[in-house]
Structure 1
Amino acid sequence: MSASIRFLFFCIFSLLALPAASHAETLYGALTRAYESNPDIEAARAGLRATDESIAIAKAGRRPNVAAEARATYSDTNNTVSKTAQVSLTVKQALFDGFKTKNSILAANSRILAGRATLKSTEMDVLIGGVQAYVDVLLNQQISSIRRQNLDFLAEQLNASKARLNAGEGTRTDVAQAQAQLAAAQAQLTAARTNLRSSRAVYKQIVGLKPAKLKVPKIPTKFIPKNLNLALGLSMQNHPALASAKHFIDASEFDVNVAQSALLPGVNLTGALTEADGGVTSAQIGARLTIPIYGGGANAAGVRQSKERLGEARIRLDSVRRQVEQIVIDAWVSFNSSKASIEAGNAEVRAARLALSGVIEERKVGQRTTLDVLNAQASVLSAREALAQSQRNTIVAAYNILYTTGQLTANGLNLNAKRYNPEAHFKQVEDKWFGLRTVTK
């Protein structure tokens, strides 16, 4: 093999051995991972699938009940032994049950719709948690960087104070003050790094992976309503907590009808086929009418109980409506105040930096002390951290508006994720007569 070919292979293998370039993880990418793999969402989907089975349970009231029975007896009386065997098959079919089955099916449907709204609410909770975790990592990274720069600056000031002391231009007090500020800055940096580790752990818990190189997300302005009234209107239409509460009211109304069915007559069709010893076979078919007269008061109590629960569901809807209205207003106020804080924060950082530069120049000519420089640097540090916090709060508040208006969903954000379709499982089980295997997707 020639030297040039060997060199070419060496270059190729060297390139293959290089670590893959790290790609920045966008906020939407993190939310997509959370939507597809978060265990809270998976548990909520499993819970909804369990709720779907209530429709099949309710429809069982329309279907026949079939049972087989085998009986064998042995008797010995006065040394007379007798043996008998009998096999029977019975069928029972409800013809009329006071509309119990009909209303049970309607109640089950309403609870399934409420369960879907609850699933949407869980997905939104996870996504807003993902937004907060994402920007918290960015915030703590930025604060760690700011405090690292502050530590370097204070180390330079300490060296400068020592140099001036050695030259006879400074005092030991200046050196001590610089040392104290440097020690405090080291403690602040340690705290910032601890917060960063904690925020990374929260990110991994929600998203499923450790945060890689994160990009600063943009504010989703195209999804934010133009004014507070529009935001309130959207929340009343789209928030899943309201939808769930409304469906529970529907289910409670049907539950009242189910309870009242116990006071109505019922008609059942029965049939039996029996085969005994000697090939004797008998068949029976008949109808049974049952008219309830008095059941100890239990039926009437059941009706009253269901009516009270209906009243509770209606009151709860009013409570949920007020809660949603409150969180919409809070998110709207927080968003606008955070935006204003960013503008003020930028101005404060510029002013603090300008003031620091001036104090440093004045110290050179003896008009300022080291303590003045340290105080000015502390103002710069405070202003930069406050600005970073305002930027984080603005992004969170913007997505909180989407959360409160029901838009923070995979469909609303158009996430590049495989969407979970709860209707698919419902259709698979609503008319299922047999089978023990569950359908997980």
Structure 2
Amino acid sequence: MTAPAGMANAQSIDDALAQTYSDNPTINAARAQLRSVNERVPQALSGWRPQIFGRFDVGSQYNNSDPGRARYSNTASAGLSVTQNIFRGFQTVNSVRQAEAIVRSERESLRATEQTILQQAATAYMDVIQNTAIVSLRRSSLEFLSEQVRAAEDRFEVGEGTRTDVSQARARFSEAQSDLNLALANVNTSRAVYRQLVGTDPKTLSARTRVYARLPKGLDAALSAGASDHPSIQSAQHLVDAAVFAVKTTEGELLPTVSLEGNLQRQWSPPSASGVDTLDSASIFGRVSIPIYQGGAVSSRVRQAKEDLGQTRIQLDVARDQVRASIVSAWGQYQAAVASIQAAQDAVSANQLALEGVIEEQRVGQRTTLDVLNAQFELVNSRVNLVTAQRNRTVAAYALLAATGALTADRLGLAVAAYDKTAHYKKVRNSWFGLSTPDGR
């Protein structure tokens, strides 16, 4: 399942994974989602910052205090109000902590998405190699069977064979043609999936990989690594933290709030007998609001937040169980694939010798055409099984790394710049204003 040694331009599986890491649209969409979630933190921090509003009013008044002496007057006013929260029942503190926990959870979700896509890309890579190899085997078998049909017909013409031999050879040839057609369809499917994940069509691929050296030494080591580092578990843990702060934020609505409010205003009116046509005013107030009863809505939201907290804790347990099950399954599949390779290699060697022996025995009349066809059938199947086992070993290895949370660009040593999950966050966290994103959009 490896490319010839002379193919210096072969694309390795690491090259394909590096390209997937950089260009895959699903990964890029997850990164955009993280950047969106980052904005929750400055939104929460806005609770510490003043709110400033300007206003401008224009109006007309009609007065008719004395019959027959109606009067119209136009007025205008402009004002500026500033409100600064001093104390909000710890809502701002807890909402900021909640937003930060959600950001950390989203970072882990991004890491989980990256690993899922990288695993799918590795599987697609090996599927292309496997199905291409199977096509080659099917074509070789078809050529062999074509020769058997010709030989059976020649023997029948000279009276050394029977019509049954010819029919059996032709039947096996037709079956081989059908198997080749199916193999070609599988190649096209695997190439399409490869292009979807990697972004380019597969060309010359090589099954050589360094993944086996990065596998855990045993099942216990794999379980320990997954429990401590799997992104699904880390994401669920951060969501528990966020839910805790959500309860505290909602409870803060039951506490008093303190704020300062300042106002500036100028009003213009038609000149009067006193000659005054403008009026300036300024005010500043300290406000204390003490919630006494809000109709039970806040109490309900507190209870709801506590139920949400309980749900996230259950989901954390679910994530741990799922990761453990995935690791055990991947480990078993890997061990089974390793054992299958040796068994398939032995079967190929045995069936190759058997076919050669049957052909020689057929030449001296001790074997029939059907015996040769059966021996060829067994040899092709064993070769297909070997190709499949080799593919399954590599796929299971990448699945095991993903199950333990180690299928990352850094751990794989991919030649690609790692995406900085904190760069955008650092740029927007303390942003007080501005409509443009950090990349200029």
* Class of the TM-score when normalised by the shorter of the 2 chains: over 0.9
Partner of 2:48: 62
Tell me by how many angstroms 1:84 deviates: 1.4
* Equivalent residue, structure 1, for 2:400: 401
- Structure 1 counterpart of 2:105: 114
Alpha-carbon shift at residue 440 of structure 1 (Å): 4.2
On the 8 A contact 1:140/1:192 being kept in 2, the answer is yes
Once the two structures are superposed, what CA deviation does each residue of 1:370-417 show, in whole Å capped at 9, x if it has no partner? 111111111111111111100000000111111111111111111111
Map 1:17-416 to 2 at 5 A.
23-78=9-64, 79-218=70-209, 220-277=211-268, 278-416=277-415
CA distance in 1, matches of 2:45, 2:378: 70
Larger helix proportion, structure 1 or 2?
1
**For the residues of structure 1 that align with 2:436 and 2:113, how far apart are their CA atoms?**
26
* Contact 2:10–2:206 (Cα < 8 Å) also in 1: yes
1:22 Cα offset (Å): 7.6
- Give per-residue Cα distances to partners, 1:216-240, cap 9 Å, x unaligned: 1235222111110000000011110
**Structure 1 unaligned runs (5+)?**
1-20
Q: Which amino acid aligns with 2:316?
A: L
**Which residue does 1:435 correspond to in 2?**
434
Distance in 2, Cα, partners of 1:172 & 1:62: 94
Deviation per residue, 1:276-331 (Å, 9 max, x gap):
12232111001111111111110000100000000000000000100000000001
8 Å contact from structure 2 (residues 211, 412) kept in 1: no
Aligned position for 1:423? 422
Amino acid at match of 1:384: R
Distance (Å, rounded) in 1 between the aligned partners of 2:378 and 2:141 = 11
CA separation of 1:22 and 1:414: change in aligned 2, threshold 3 A: closer
Instruction: Return the TM-score normalized by structure 1.
Output: 0.94
The 8 Å contact of residues 14 and 209 in structure 2, kept in 1 or not, is answered as no
SS of corresponding position for 2:238: helix
Matched AA of 2:287: R
Which residue identity is paired with 1:24?
Answer: A
1: distance between equivalents of 2:149 and 2:439? 65
* Whole-angstrom distance in 2 between the partners of 1:216 and 1:80: 94
CA shift in 2, pair 1:401/1:440, >3 Å: farther
Kept after mapping to 2: 8 A contact 1:137/1:199: yes
After superposition, the Cα gap between the structure-2 partners of 1:351 and 1:219, relative to the gap in structure 1 and judged at 3 Å, is farther
2:287 alignment partner, SS class? strand
Q: Report the number of matched residues.
A: 421
For residue 3 of structure 2, what is the aligned residue in structure 1?
A: none
1:86-139, Cα deviation, whole Å (9 max, x unpaired): 111101111000000000000000000000000101111110011001000000
TM-aligned CA distance change 1:424 to 1:300, over 3 Å:
same
Cα RMSD, aligned residues only: 1.1
Is the CA contact (8 Å cut-off) linking 2:230 and 2:403 kept in structure 1?
yes
Q: Secondary structure at the match of 1:432?
A: coil
Structure 1 equivalent of residue 271 of structure 2: none
Would you say the 8 A contact 2:152–2:169 is kept in 1?
A: yes
Mapped to 2, the partners of 1:22 and 1:394 lie a distance apart of: 25
Instruction: Please give the residue correspondences for 1:5-20 in structure 2 after superposition, counting only pairs within 5 Å.
Output: none
In structure 1, what is the Cα distance between the partners aligned to 2:8 and 2:400?
Answer: 32
Paired residue secondary structure (1:280): strand
Q: Is the 8 A contact 1:22 1:213 kept in 2?
A: no
Secondary structure in 1 aligned to 2:418?
coil
Partners of 2:15 and 2:209 lie apart in 1 by 14
CA contact (8 A) 1:46 1:440 kept: no
CA deviation string 1:149-207 (max 9, x = no partner): 00000011111101111121100110011011101111110110110011001000000
Q: Is the 8 A contact 1:219 1:395 kept in 2?
A: no
User: 1:219 touches 1:398 (CA, 8 Å); kept in 2?
Assistant: no
1:321-365: CA deviation from partner (whole Å, max 9, x where unpaired): 000000000010100110000000000111111111111111112
Secondary structure of the 1:213 match is: coil
Q: CA deviation at 1:439?
A: 2.4
In structure 2, C-alpha distance between the alignment counterparts of 1:219 and 1:353, rounded to whole Å: 31
Amino acid at match of 1:84: T
Change (3 A) 1:369 1:219: farther
The alpha-carbon deviation at position 81 of structure 1 amounts to 1.1
